[in-house]
């Protein structure tokens, strides 16, 4: 099956929906699945999303295929749980309809009358379309998820700043404040965090993704730790 065929993909998606509906059925279904709420499923959604990122950055095509399926399952399950709520606020069809319409709106150079000469034009059109959708926002920094990892959130805030302040320099970090003995540890931690934030700003200036860079460095360290563990284990086995 290829990604370009809507028919086969639609058939397979319908089968997945039927499986999830069977799990949530009052009779013959799965008690654990029926007990889930959007809030209780957040942990699994975060885990599956993180595993997909790992598969994209360091896995195989088979890994990506598997993890995309796990994320898709989360989407279908969340929508099915919502459809069972009192008043049925939405279901999977609503989710698909909304994202299709939003994708069309944000690509007027493909689905509308606007023309885009290059990628900068595409980004400009996309940003303008998004701004119209979010016209009720009072700040350029609204909508940056609190749940993002700290490095990723710092980058997102800096990107928003650059979009509204053009070439203005990053916001200067506060100077250390005098602290008593009780607050020394907290002050030291805040100071360290400010130093790290300055490195995030430096990464943005250089066009680097600080969150991805840290993930790569952590994977490298893990590989080195595992290698050392294997070597030490080999010595112990002699």
CA distance 156 to 25: 41
The pLDDT value given to residue 236: 74
178 and 237 together in one domain: yes
Per-residue pLDDT tens digits of the chain, which is 238 residues long: 444 446 889 999 999 999 999 999 999 999 999 999 999 999 999 999 999 999 999 999 999 999 999 999 999 999 999 999 988 789 999 999 999 999 999 999 899 888 888 998 898 888 888 888 888 888 888 888 888 888 899 988 888 888 777 667 776 766 666 555 556 788 888 888 999 999 999 998 899 999 999 999 999 999 999 998 888 888 777 6
CA distance 67 to 54: 9
237 and 147 together in one domain: yes
- In degrees, rounded to 5, the angle at the alpha carbon of residue 74 between the alpha carbons of residues 99 and 159 is 55
121 and 182 together in one domain: no
147 and 130 together in one domain: no
- 26, part of any domain: yes
The pLDDT value given to residue 1: 43
178 and 121 together in one domain: no
- 112, part of any domain: yes
223 and 195 together in one domain: yes
DSSP at 180? -
**Domains in the chain, number:** 3
By residue range, what is the domain housing residue 174?
143-238
Q: Can you give the CATH number for the domain in which 77 is found?
A: 1.10.287.1080
The pLDDT value given to residue 61: 97
Per DSSP, the three-state class of 125 is: helix
CA distance 83 to 184: 51
CA distance 229 to 171: 43
Q: Of 102, 124, 156, at which residue does a domain stop?
A: 102
Residue 1: exposure state from Cβ atoms within 10 A (0-12, 13-18, ≥19):
exposed
Q: Number of helices (H) and strands (E), helices first, in the chain?
A: 10, 0
- 120, part of any domain: yes
Q: If you write DSSP's letter for every residue of 1-51 in order, what string do you get?
A: --TT-HHHHHHHHHHHHHHHHHHH-TTTS-HHHHT--TTTTHHHHHHHHHH
Q: Which residue has the tokens 């993002």?
A: 148
27 and 96 together in one domain: yes
The pLDDT value given to residue 183: 64
- 57, part of any domain: yes
Residue 235: exposure state from Cβ atoms within 10 A (0-12, 13-18, ≥19):
exposed
The pLDDT value given to residue 181: 58
120 and 56 together in one domain: no
- 33, part of any domain: yes
- 23, part of any domain: yes
152 and 170 together in one domain: yes
Q: Of 49, 82, 102, at which residue does a domain stop?
A: 102
DSSP at 140? T
Residue 155: exposure state from Cβ atoms within 10 A (0-12, 13-18, ≥19):
buried
131 and 76 together in one domain: no
46 and 125 together in one domain: no
Q: Which residue has the tokens 């020394």?
A: 184
- 1, part of any domain: no
23 and 62 together in one domain: yes
- 220, part of any domain: yes
């Amino acid at each position: 099956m290829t990604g370009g065929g809507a028919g086969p993909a639609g058939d397979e998606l319908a089968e997945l929906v039927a499986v999830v509906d069977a799990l949530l059925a009052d009779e013959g279904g799965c008690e654990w699945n029926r007990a889930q709420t959007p809030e209780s499923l957040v942990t699994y959604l975060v885990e599956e999303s993180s595993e997909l990122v790992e598969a994209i950055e360091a896995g195989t095509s088979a890994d990506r295929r598997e993890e995309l399926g796990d994320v898709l399952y989360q989407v279908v399950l969340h929508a099915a749980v919502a459809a069972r709520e009192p008043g049925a606020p939405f279901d999977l069809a609503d989710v698909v309809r909304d994202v299709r319409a939003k994708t069309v709106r944000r690509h007027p150079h493909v689905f509308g009358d606007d023309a885009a000469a290059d990628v900068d034009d595409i980004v400009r059109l996309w940003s303008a379309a998004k701004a119209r959708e979010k016209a009720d926002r009072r700040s350029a920094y609204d909508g940056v998820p609190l749940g993002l990892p700290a490095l990723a959130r710092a980058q997102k805030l800096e990107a928003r700043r650059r979009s509204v302040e053009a070439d203005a320099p990053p916001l200067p970090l506060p100077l250390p404040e005098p602290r008593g003995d009780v607050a020394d540890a907290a002050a030291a931690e805040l100071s360290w965090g400010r130093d790290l934030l300055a490195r995030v700003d430096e990464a943005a200036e250089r066009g680097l993704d600080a969150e991805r860079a840290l993930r790569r460095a952590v994977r490298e360290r893990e590989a080195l730790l595992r290698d050392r563990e294997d070597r030490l284990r080999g010595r112990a086995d002699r």
